[in-house]
Amino acid sequence: MKPELPDALTNAPPTGWTVWWTAARPRTLTLATAPVLAGTALAWAEGAVPQWLTLLATLLAALLIQIGTNLHNDAADFVRGNDRADRLGPLRVTAAGWASASHVRFAAHLAFSLAFALGLYLVAVGGWPIFAIGCTSLLAAVAYSGGPRPISHTPFGEVFVWIFFGVLAVVGSYWLQADAFSFNALIVGSAVGLPAAAVLLVNNLRDLDADTRAGRRTLAAVLGDAGTRKAYALLMLLPYASLPLLHKDGAWLAVLALPASMALARQLRGNIVGPALNLVLARTAQCALGFAVLIALGVLLT
C-alpha cells in the first residue's frame, strides 16, 4: 500500500521557473508583441530595409517592460492588500505565498533594467524619439501600479494601454525600421491599441466588485456593469472602422478577425460573470494579436 504524503508536501508551492513564468502572466505578453510586429511590417511595406537585429531588440524590450509591469503589479497589489482570498482572476504569486513581495519586486526591477539596457541600443539606432518613448514607457510601467495614486486605480488604465500598447509601440517600431514618421503608423497604432485596452476592461469588469470594495475607481467602476459591456464592444469593433483610412489595400486582411471580435462582443453582452470572464480575457488578447498579425501580413503581401 502506497503511503500518504503529508499535506505540507502534497500541497507544496512550485519553485524555480514555474513561479516566475506564472508571475510573468504569459497570456498578456501577446499585447507587447502585437504592435511591434504591426509597426515593423508597415515600415517594411513602405520601403524600409529590414533591420532584423533591431526588430529582435525591440521585441525583447517590449516583452521585458510588459513582464516588469506584471511583476511590479503582482507585488504592489499584495502590499496594498488588493489581492484578497476571494480574488477571481488568475493566481498572483505574491498573494499565493509562492514568492515574497521583495523578491517579486526585485524581479520586476531586473526586467526593467534589462529593458533599459536594450533601450540604449535602440536609442543608438533611433535617436531621441526612441529615448523619449522608452523613458516614458518605463516610467509609466512603474506608475501603473506604484506611487501614491497608481494608474491602475483610476479610470485611465485603458487609455494607458491604448497609448503604450498601441500608438507609441507601433509608431516607435516603425521609426526604428524606417527612421521616419508615418501617418499610417499612427492609424495602425490607434487601431491595435483598442483591443489591447479591451483586455484590461474585461479584467476590470471581472474585478468590479472587489475593486469597488477596495476603493479603486477603474473605468469599469465609473461605467458600471452594463456600460462596461457596451464599451468593450466599442473597443473590439472600432478598429475595423479605421481600416479605410489606411492607404494600404492589404490592411483589409484584418477583416478576417472581425467574426471573432463580434463573437466576443456578443458573448460579453450576455450574463457571463466571475471566473468565466478569464476565458473572455484570454480570447480577447488572442484576437488583439490576430488583428495585428493580419494587418502585418496584409501590408507585406501587397
Considering only 19-28, 34-43, 287-296, which range has the smallest mean pLDDT? 19-28
Distances (CA, A) of 73 to 33, 80, 93, 177, 279: 20, 10, 11, 31, 21
pLDDT given at position 13: 66
Higher-pLDDT residue of 3, 110: 110
pTM of the model: 0.89
Backbone angles phi, psi at 283, to 5 degrees: -70, -30
Considering only 107-116, 125-134, 147-156, 232-241, which range has the smallest mean pLDDT? 147-156
Q: Is residue 70 part of a domain?
A: yes
DSSP letter for 181, please: -
Cα 112 to chain center, whole Å? 16
The H or E element containing residue 190 is helix 183-206
Neighbours of 224 (CB within 10 A): 12
Considering only 112-126, 136-150, 190-204, which range has the smallest mean pLDDT? 136-150
Cα 284 to chain center, whole Å? 11
Q: Is residue 12 part of a domain?
A: no
64/165 Cα distance (integer angstroms): 13
The count of domains in the chain is 1
Domain of residue 283: give its range: 28-301
CATH, residue 223: 1.10.600
pLDDT given at position 15: 64
Q: Is residue 13 part of a domain?
A: no
**pLDDT at residue 207 is higher than 90:** no
pLDDT tens-digit map of 130-153: 999 999 988 888 888 776 788 888
Q: Is residue 7 part of a domain?
A: no
pLDDT given at position 6: 39
Q: Is residue 92 part of a domain?
A: yes
Query: For the residues of 213-232, what is the DSSP string, one character each?
Result: HTT---HHHHHHHHHHHHHH
215-219-224 Cα angle (round to 5): 85
In the chain, the percentage of residues whose pLDDT exceeds 70 is: 91
Q: Is residue 21 part of a domain?
A: no
pLDDT given at position 20: 84
Q: Is residue 5 part of a domain?
A: no
Considering only 21-25, 66-70, 141-145, which range has the smallest mean pLDDT? 141-145
Read off the C-alpha cell for 292: 495585428
Sign of CA dihedral 119, 191, 163, 236: negative
45/56 Cα distance (integer angstroms): 18
**What residues contact residue 8 under an 8 Å CB cut-off, 6+ apart?**
none
Higher-pLDDT residue of 137, 42: 42
Considering only 119-128, 247-256, 291-300, which range has the smallest mean pLDDT? 247-256
Considering only 116-125, 136-145, 180-189, which range has the smallest mean pLDDT? 136-145
User: Which residue pairs from 136-140 have beta carbons closer than 8 angstroms and sit at least 24 positions apart in sequence?
Assistant: 136/168, 137/65, 137/164, 137/168, 138/65, 138/112, 140/164
Q: Is residue 124 part of a domain?
A: yes
Number of H helices, E strands in the chain: 13, 0
